[in-house]
């Protein structure tokens, strides 16, 4: 699958079993094994498209090839670092109970958007309606904070219940003012609506894919266990580290551009100041009359006359 998003290529190369194990700083195969990333579902629930990512079958359960997991994490890290450095944002989606705290923690650590409860249909495709609900949330918070207005307990309870409902579903996307550059999903089966909306809007999708998932729905699949808390934490922490690295590069580039712009403006203002003279400086300088052009102040007799050159006639000489 090849995908180009805003000039950034996203490609999932074919899997080859004879490839060397990729190197990845900060993460080892032993750590993945301890986190239980290699545990798959029962072989009766497997998806045939996951065959290249399965190492073997043990006690009627599939075992995921962790070499493919490391390759997926490395590709996802490189892609996230590039798009964040380009100025795009990322949204984390994990609505299952064992992933909520991890998604909230890692998205908060890298300063990105998240959704840990119900994904409202149209969060990406119909964002204007979502913005209207967010405006309603701000109105409710202002009204509840205003103590000058006297309300009954029933009215306050109704408003508080409406505020909690909106806040619960839209808490993580409250500051998302434009479409994200990528979507990170924990379970594409559980978060099917979010994946469909991202595919419809041509937004790259990075997701953990278990043995019962279809990896063709994802641009950058990461084979792994999407049910264990520790497995989700290990993978998402690596992705969050790449986002932080991309933000650091973006900040350094912006500071460099700002310093260059300030130096250019200072140089231009200095040249402009040298070009313009204040009235006081102009009055303090002595007056020098303009010099005439060469030959203008000479008399008519002194002026050089054009020389006439006479050549002899060749016919008369012959």
Pairing of strands 205-209, 113-115: unpaired
Average pLDDT score, the chain: 83
For residue 43, count CB atoms less than 10 angstroms from its CB and return exposed for 0-12, middle for 13-18, buried for 19 or more: middle
pLDDT in tens, 54-112: 888 888 889 998 899 999 999 999 999 999 999 999 999 999 988 999 999 999 999 99
Of residues 279 and 24, the one with the higher pLDDT is 279
Torsion (CA) 84, 87, 91, 92 in degrees, nearest 10: 20
Q: What is the pLDDT of residue 298?
A: 57
Residue 283: pLDDT over 50? yes
The 10 Å Cβ neighbour count of residue 30 is: 9
Residue 4 burial by Cβ neighbours in a 10 Å radius (0-12, 13-18, 19+): exposed
**For residue 141, what pLDDT is reported?**
87
**Per-residue pLDDT, 180:** 92
Burial class (CB in 10 A: 0-12, 13-18, 19+), 212: middle
CA-wise closest residue to 246 among 84, 76, 77: 84
Name the nearest CA neighbour of 194 among 209, 183, 180: 183
Query: What is the Cα–Cα distance from 196 to 181, expressed in whole angstroms?
Result: 15
pLDDT of residue 20: 44
pLDDT at 23: 47
Distances from the Cα of 114 to the Cα of 108, 109, 184, 237, angstroms: 8, 11, 9, 14
Each residue's pLDDT tens digit, 130-176: 888 888 988 888 888 888 888 888 988 999 998 999 888 888 898 88
Instruction: Give 1's pLDDT tier (boundaries 50, 70, 90).
Output: very low
* Domains of the chain from N-terminus onward: 20-124+179-255 (3.40.50.10490)
The arithmetic mean of pLDDT across residues 267-296, rounded, is 72
What pLDDT score does 5 carry?
Answer: 46
Question: Using one digit for the tens of pLDDT, what is the confidence trace for 207-245?
Answer: 999 998 999 999 999 999 988 899 999 999 999 999 999
80 touches 239 (CB < 8 A) = yes
Pairwise CA distance, residues 206 & 220, whole Å: 5
Mean pLDDT of 184-210: 93
* Backbone Cα Rg of the chain: 36
39-56: per-residue pLDDT in tens? 888 888 888 898 999 888
* Dihedral over Cα of 176, 179, 184, 190: its sign: positive
């Amino acid at each position: 699958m090849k995908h180009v998003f805003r000039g950034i290529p996203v490609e999932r190369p074919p899997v080859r079993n004879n490839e060397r194990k990729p190197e990845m700083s900060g993460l080892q195969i032993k750590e993945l094994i301890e986190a239980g990333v290699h545990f798959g579902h029962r072989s009766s629930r497997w998806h045939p498209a996951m065959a290249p990512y399965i190492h073997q079958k043990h006690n009627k359960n599939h075992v995921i090839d962790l070499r493919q997991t490391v390759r997926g994490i490395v590709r996802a890290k490189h892609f996230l670092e590039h798009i964040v450095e380009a100025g795009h944002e990322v949204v984390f989606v994990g609505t299952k109970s064992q992933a909520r705290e991890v998604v909230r923690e890692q998205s908060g650590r890298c300063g990105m958007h998240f959704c840990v409860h119900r994904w409202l249909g149209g969060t990406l495709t119909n964002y204007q309606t979502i913005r209207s609900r967010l405006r309603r949330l701000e109105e409710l918070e202002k009204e509840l904070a205003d103590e000058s207005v006297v309300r009954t307990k029933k009215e306050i309870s109704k408003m508080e219940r409406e505020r909690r409902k909106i806040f619960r579903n839209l808490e993580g996307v409250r500051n998302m003012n434009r479409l994200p550059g990528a979507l990170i999903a924990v379970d594409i089966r559980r978060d099917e609506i979010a994946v469909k909306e991202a595919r419809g809007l041509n937004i790259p999708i990075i997701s953990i894919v278990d043995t019962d998932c279809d990896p063709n729905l994802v641009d950058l699949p990461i084979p792994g266990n999407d049910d264990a808390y520790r497995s989700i934490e290990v993978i998402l922490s690596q992705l969050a580290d790449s986002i932080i690295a991309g933000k650091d590069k973006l900040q350094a580039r912006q500071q460099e551009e700002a310093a260059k712009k300030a130096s250019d403006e200072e140089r231009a203002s200095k040249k402009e100041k040298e070009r313009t003279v204040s009235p006081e400086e102009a009055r303090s300088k002595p007056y020098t009359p303009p010099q005439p052009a060469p030959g203008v102040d000479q008399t008519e007799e002194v002026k050089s006359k054009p020389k006439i050159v006479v050549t002899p006639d060749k016919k008369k000489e012959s």
